[in-house]
Amino acid sequence: MPRIVITTIISVAVMGSTVGSTVVGATATIVNCATGSCIDNVASIPPIGALGCIPPRPRASGTSVETIATDDGLRTYLLHVPPSYTGFSAMPVVLNMHGAGLNAAVQEWYSGFSAKADAEGFIVVYPEGMTTAALSFTHFNAWMLPSPEPDDVAFISTLIDALEVQLCVDHDRVFSTGFSNGAMMSVRLACSLSNRIAAIAPVAGAYYPQAALDLNAAETCSGATPVPVIAFHGTADAAVPFGGGEGDISGVMVTFRLPIDDAAAAEDAVGDWSAHNGCTSGRQELQVDTEVRLIRYDACTAGATVELYAVGGGGHTWPGSFDIPPAGYTTHQISATDRIWAFFSGYPPAPPAPVGGIAEQPDVMELPSASASSRDHAAYILGTAFAIIVAAAGAAGWRKRRRWPRTKSA
C-alpha cells in the first residue's frame, strides 16, 4: 500500500530529528479519564505574568522526538518549536494527530504544519498513536473503547500538562487538528477536554458523537462547553463517507451514523455541532471555488463558529497537500493548513481595548504554588510589581487571561 511506503520513508527521515527526553516530572499519578478527573496530583504549572514567563523556559528550535509516562506505558510524540520561540513570550500550541496506520512523522510531512508554525510563530505537537491487542495498526482511541484500548484523552491531557510546565505556553490557545482517525481524536478532545481545547479542525474525519453504529454506543458529548469547529471533507471520501454509512478505517469496516453535511437530512454532523455550540444563524452556504463549498453556522455561544469546507469529488485527503492517488482526489484550490491556522488565530476572541489608555489588570494575580522554588517565587513577584508600574504609567495593554478550570468536561 502506498500509505505503508510513505510511512516507512518518513519514519526513516525523522530519525534525523533531535531525540528528546522522557517526561516524568509533569505528572505523579494518572487515572482513567472515564472515571472523572484525567490527572491527579499534577505538578504545579508555573504562572504566566503580564510580561511573560518568569523565569524563561528556553528550548531549542526544530523537531525532536519526546516520550512521556502514562498508565498505558511510555507514549511518544514529536515536538516542533519555531525559531521565534524565546521561552519568555507565551505561544499557542497546535496538537496535530495522524490517521490510523500512519505515524507522527507522516502527519508532520503531510500536513505541512511545522513550516506553518515557523512562519506564524506557534508550537506544534504530533502525538503518536498505539497498536493494541484488538487493533494491530497505530491509532487513537477516539471512541472511548474499553481496555485493551488506551485512554488517549488522559494521554493528551497529561501531554498538555507537561508542555505547560516545560514551555512558555498560552494556556488559552491550545488547539487540536488531525487527519482521519486523528481528526476523530480532535472531536473527542473537544468533548472530553472542552475546558482546555480552544478550537478543533478535523480533516477527513469530522463527526458528532456517537461516531458509528458499531463502535461505542455510550460515546457522547454531553456537558461539554461550546468549542469552535472548522472541518474539511471530500464528497468522494471512501474511508469516511461524506454521506455516512459504511466506511473503512485501515481495513476495519465501520458504519458511520451521520452524513457530514446534508441540507435535506434531518440530522448531520455539522448541524449537530452547530446545535451543540448554540448557533442561531441557520445553515449558510458559499461557493469558495469551483471545487469547494463553505457551509457555515455562526451567531454561536461564546463565538464558537462551525465551518465545513466540502470538497466536490475530494477523496480521503488533506486539501492543498501532496497528491496521493490511491486515497482519492486532492484539491489545490484551498490549503487546509492555511485556513486552519487563520481560523485558530481568531480564538479566543480578543478582549475589550483598555479604557483611558490604562492597561486592564488581570482579575487574579496568581502566585506560584508551594512547590515552586523560592527563586521562581521572588522572580514572579518582581515581574508582577514591574508590570503594575508599567501599566500605571500608561503602557500598552496586555491580553486579559482567562483561567479555565483543569477538570474534565464530560
CATH number at residue 332: 3.40.50.1820
Instruction: Specify if 145 maps to a domain.
Output: yes
Instruction: Specify if 302 maps to a domain.
Output: yes
Instruction: Specify if 410 maps to a domain.
Output: no
What is the separation, in whole angstroms, between the first and last Cα of the chain? 38
Q: How far apart are CA 327 and CA 3, in angstroms?
A: 9
- Residue 213's pLDDT is 87
- Residue 13's pLDDT is 35
Q: Which three cell numbers stand for residue 150?
A: 488506551
Do 310 and 290 contact (CB within 8 A), yes or no? no
Instruction: Specify if 9 maps to a domain.
Output: yes
pLDDT of 287 above 70 = yes
Write the pLDDT tens digit of every residue in 167-199: 999 999 999 999 999 999 999 999 999 999 999
Write the pLDDT tens digit of every residue in 317-353: 999 999 999 999 999 999 999 999 999 999 997 665 5
Residue 20: band (very low, low, confident or very high) from pLDDT cuts 50, 70, 90: low
Residue 47: band (very low, low, confident or very high) from pLDDT cuts 50, 70, 90: low
Residue 46: band (very low, low, confident or very high) from pLDDT cuts 50, 70, 90: low
Domains in the chain, number: 1
Instruction: Specify if 405 maps to a domain.
Output: no
Q: Cβ neighbours of residue 8 under 8 Å, at least 6 residues apart?
A: none
Write the pLDDT tens digit of every residue in 133-175: 999 999 999 999 999 999 999 999 999 999 999 999 999 999 9
Residue 49: band (very low, low, confident or very high) from pLDDT cuts 50, 70, 90: low
Stated pTM of the model: 0.78
Instruction: Specify if 325 maps to a domain.
Output: yes
Q: Which whole number is the average pLDDT over 266-270?
A: 96
Counting beta carbons within 10 angstroms of the beta carbon of residue 264, is it exposed (0 to 12), middle (13 to 18) or buried (19 or more)?
A: exposed
Q: Which three cell numbers stand for residue 166?
A: 516545560
Instruction: Specify if 401 maps to a domain.
Output: no
pLDDT of 222 above 80 = yes
- The dihedrals phi and psi of 215, each to the nearest 5 degrees, come to -110, -125
Do 270 and 202 contact (CB within 8 A), yes or no? no
Write the pLDDT tens digit of every residue in 79-120: 999 999 999 999 999 999 999 999 999 999 999 999 999 999
- Residue 353's pLDDT is 55
Domain that holds residue 336: 2-392
Comparing 26 with 252, the larger pLDDT belongs to: 252
- The dihedrals phi and psi of 149, each to the nearest 5 degrees, come to -70, 145
Q: Which whole number is the average pLDDT over 8-15?
A: 34
Residue 25: band (very low, low, confident or very high) from pLDDT cuts 50, 70, 90: very low
Instruction: Specify if 402 maps to a domain.
Output: no
